């Protein structure tokens, strides 16, 4: 089963973390993926709509493509409960010292 070209494009972007559309197109051609410009733009638009990348204009003819980093929010109460449960579990073994 073939991997969709959208996944390949996203893997290239994720590998570089930040690059231009020109660099991405050259990298894809180097790996043997020749994509028409309208298809290339559609793939970038799809990835941006999915919230995986951001695309911004650098110059009139060049765009910057970056991976979107989603930071996981830590719930402080859940973290405290987890620590308490771990310490209670460790304390449940009598005679074992740290």
Of 30 and 74, which is predicted with more confidence? 30
Q: Where are the domains of the chain?
A: 1-91
Dist CA 14 CA 47 (whole Å): 12
What would the pLDDT profile of 11-43 be if each residue is shown by its tens digit? 999 999 899 999 999 999 999 999 999 999 999
d(CA 63, CA 74): 34
Domain spanning 1-91: CATH 1.10.490.10: no
Give the DSSP H/E element, type plus range, for residue 19. strand 18-20
């Amino acid at each position: 089963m073939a991997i969709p070209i959208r996944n390949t494009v996203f893997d290239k972007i994720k590998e570089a973390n930040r690059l231009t559309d020109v660099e991405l197109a050259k990298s894809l051609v180097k790996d043997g993926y020749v994509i028409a410009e309208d298809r290339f733009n559609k793939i970038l638009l799809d990835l941006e709509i999915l919230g995986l990348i951001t695309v911004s204009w650098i110059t009139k003819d060049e765009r910057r493509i970056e991976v979107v980093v989603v930071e996981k929010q830590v719930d402080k109460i859940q973290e405290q409960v987890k620590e308490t449960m771990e310490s209670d579990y460790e304390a449940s073994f009598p005679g074992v010292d740290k």
